[in-house]
A and B are shown apart, each in its own frame.
Chain A
Amino acid sequence: MVAFLQVALAGVVTGSIYGLLALGIVLIYRTTGVLNFAYGAIGAVCTGFMAILMMGPRLPFGLALLGALIFSALLGMGLERSFARPVLRAPVFTKAIATLALALILETVAQQIWPQLSQAVHFSSPFATASVRVGGVYIALIDVVILLVTAGVMVALQLFLTRTKLGIAMRATADNQDAARLMGAPVGNISLLTWGLSAVIAALAGILLASRTGLMNLSFLDPVLILAFIGAVLGGLESLPGALIGGIVIGLLDNLLALILAGHSLGPLDISDPGIRQALIFGGFVLVLLFRPQGLLGQATLRRV
């Protein structure tokens, strides 16, 4: 039982990171219709910036974090102006492939500026080794931090989007941009804010993951990004809580399957292999979409075809 809890908890923690990334993906998709394949690169560049701040000028963790978050907000807004604007009116696939190009550019530029980040570097964090005990379960401090930050981001975002004027305007813009403009909402600045906000979330996800594993490089979020995408679609692509839940479900499944399949084999086939696990998860995901083509929390809408 304790082992099960331990594993489930680990699943929720990794899932939270997928969920955070999924949140940012959905945020941008809803407001600008961009399926952002550069999202991992954005998070990695911001995490890299923080690693550099800690390695170079030897800033303490807190200051470096602050620096990285400010950097991410600026990067996100800069990308909105330089990248998202010019492709805004392009067809949806063109926009998606453009983000792919953006990812290549971002990674190359970052590599030129910080060549040391092309290899894995140590990412130190004050939560690295400590752990707390809850009941019979040991939880690494970093895992507690991840859960708290994720919950915090979700709650703050939800409050912002439903309780503040600007947040409601943001949802209104995502829903009907022309009407939002008619109401006098600053549609351009809202798009700027969306990109800034989602870049901050990418940075947080990257920093949390790097703090957990103690390592990072400029492509360390690429494999995670696909899982985040799947989490986002599983949750319904339109719904922020859905995105978070979708991400957590993926993380949880991965860890639980690992526990269940461990040490078993089917004839010559070693089913504890991570490949089997992945195949099961992706296969399950496709099955879910067959029965709920709009994801778990998405509503069947007639708009946005």
Chain B
Amino acid sequence: MLRIEGLRSGYGPLEVLHGLNLTIEEGSFVAILGANGAGKSTLMRTLVGLVVPRGGHITFGDRIIDHVSPERRLRAGLALVPEGRELFRSLSVRENLLMGAFTRPGGRSMEEDLARILDYFPRLKQRLTAAAASLSGGEGQMLAIGRAMMAHPRVLLLDEPSHGLAPTIVDTVFAVISQLHQRDGLTVVVAEQNAKKALSVAQHAYVLQGGTIALSGTAAELSQTAAVRELYLGG
């Protein structure tokens, strides 16, 4: 579904990813683990085209998308829930969701989409006309996910969805992500510092370190690896 070969990417003089290889199967749930500053966000942004890679290839389906615009990647089915949610704070919840569907044709199907997405997020349904700024952290993360889902993605990328949320809320958020994965057959890629939580729901996991993949395997394997236990799971 998504194949990354020798990807090099960064900002100005700073190269963050030094030749990254990664394959994500259709319908899988993949976790990308790494410490703060490891380059998880850089990878996510490069995948959706917000950062231009300086080497390597990204293949989505059967197309090389290295130089495809962010908008066309979104249309092709690659959506990102960005780090820190990045909601339109002065817009209503409903308007935020509609913005998520900006690349899709409007009309009747739009209302159906909205209803379908809102089924996953009952809290949002009650607050449709409220300004996004008034949402709690958990609600905000739900809205960010719902907004990305409005684009009908085939692959949903999430950058630290647990960030800044209380543990119980994190559980709810990940439960919703699992639901989307199972019910809709969505391919999910989660970048997380919270390795414990990510490994408990993902099938496969990769550990990003020093700009390359340091470790990979099934979630179960990685949870048992000494290095991961020591570094990310607290012994």
Write the residues of chain A forming the contact surface with B, with a CB cutoff of 8 angstroms. Answer: 165, 168-169, 171-172, 175-176, 178-186, 238, 301, 303
Contacts of B91 in A (CB 8 A): 168, 171-172, 175
B88 in complex: contacting residue of A165, A171, A181, A186, CB < 8 Å = A171
The reply to whether A182 and B89 form a contact with Cβ atoms under 8 Å apart is no
The reply to whether B86 and A184 form a contact with Cβ atoms under 8 Å apart is no
Contacts of B95 in A (CB 8 A): 168, 171-172
Smallest CB-CB separation from B69: which chain A residue?
A184
Contacts of B133 in A (CB 8 A): 301
1/0 contact trace for B119-156 toward A, CB 8 Å?
00000000000000100000000000001000100000
Measured CB to CB, the closest approach of chain B to A50, in angstroms, equals 36
The CA-CA distance from A181 to B89 in the complex, in Å, is 15
The answer to whether B188 has its CB under 8 Å from any CB of chain A is no
**A-B residue pairs in contact (CB < 8 Å), sample of 11:** A175-B88, A178-B86, A179-B86, A179-B88, A181-B50, A182-B50, A182-B82, A184-B70, A184-B75, A301-B90, A301-B133
The reply to whether B99 and A168 form a contact with Cβ atoms under 8 Å apart is yes
Contacts of A183 in B (CB 8 A): 74, 99-100, 102-103, 147, 151
The reply to whether A182 and B98 form a contact with Cβ atoms under 8 Å apart is no
The CA-CA distance from A114 to B90 in the complex, in Å, is 44
Write the residues of chain B forming the contact surface with A, with a CB cutoff of 8 angstroms. Answer: 48, 50, 70-71, 74-75, 80, 82, 86-91, 95, 98-100, 102-103, 106, 133, 147, 151
The CA-CA distance from A180 to B103 in the complex, in Å, is 11
Q: How many A-B residue pairs have CB under 8 A?
A: 65
Contacts of B75 in A (CB 8 A): 184
The reply to whether B70 and A165 form a contact with Cβ atoms under 8 Å apart is no
Measured CB to CB, the closest approach of chain B to A223, in angstroms, equals 33
If A165-B102, A168-B95, A169-B99 touch, does A182 touch B87 (CB 8 Å cutoff)?
Answer: no
The reply to whether B103 and A184 form a contact with Cβ atoms under 8 Å apart is yes
Contacts of A301 in B (CB 8 A): 89-90, 133
Measured CB to CB, the closest approach of chain A to B77, in angstroms, equals 12
Interface SS of chain A: helix, strand, loop or mixed?
helix
If A165-B102, A165-B106 touch, does A175 touch B90 (CB 8 Å cutoff)?
Answer: yes
The reply to whether A182 and B88 form a contact with Cβ atoms under 8 Å apart is no
A168 in complex: contacting residue of B70, B80, B86, B98, CB < 8 Å = B98
The CA-CA distance from A165 to B86 in the complex, in Å, is 19
The reply to whether B98 and A176 form a contact with Cβ atoms under 8 Å apart is no
The CA-CA distance from A165 to B80 in the complex, in Å, is 21
If A171-B90, A172-B99 touch, does A184 touch B74 (CB 8 Å cutoff)?
Answer: yes
The reply to whether B89 and A303 form a contact with Cβ atoms under 8 Å apart is yes
Smallest CB-CB separation from A178: which chain B residue?
B86
Interface centre among A182, A238, A301 (most CB of B within 10 A): A182
Measured CB to CB, the closest approach of chain B to A301, in angstroms, equals 8
The reply to whether B87 and A176 form a contact with Cβ atoms under 8 Å apart is yes
The CA-CA distance from A176 to B85 in the complex, in Å, is 11
The 5 residue pairs across chains A and B that have the minimum distance between CB atoms: A184-B71, A184-B103, A179-B86, A175-B88, A172-B88
Measured CB to CB, the closest approach of chain B to A165, in angstroms, equals 6
B82 in complex: contacting residue of A175, A179, A185, A303, CB < 8 Å = A179
If A184-B71, A184-B75 touch, does A176 touch B100 (CB 8 Å cutoff)?
Answer: no
Contacts of A182 in B (CB 8 A): 48, 50, 70, 74, 80, 82, 86
The reply to whether B70 and A181 form a contact with Cβ atoms under 8 Å apart is yes
Smallest CB-CB separation from B96: which chain A residue?
A172
Contacts of A179 in B (CB 8 A): 82, 86-88
The CA-CA distance from A178 to B50 in the complex, in Å, is 9
Interface centre among B89, B147, B151 (most CB of A within 10 A): B89
The CA-CA distance from A172 to B106 in the complex, in Å, is 17
The reply to whether A185 and B99 form a contact with Cβ atoms under 8 Å apart is yes
Contacts of B90 in A (CB 8 A): 171, 175, 238, 301
The reply to whether A176 and B71 form a contact with Cβ atoms under 8 Å apart is no
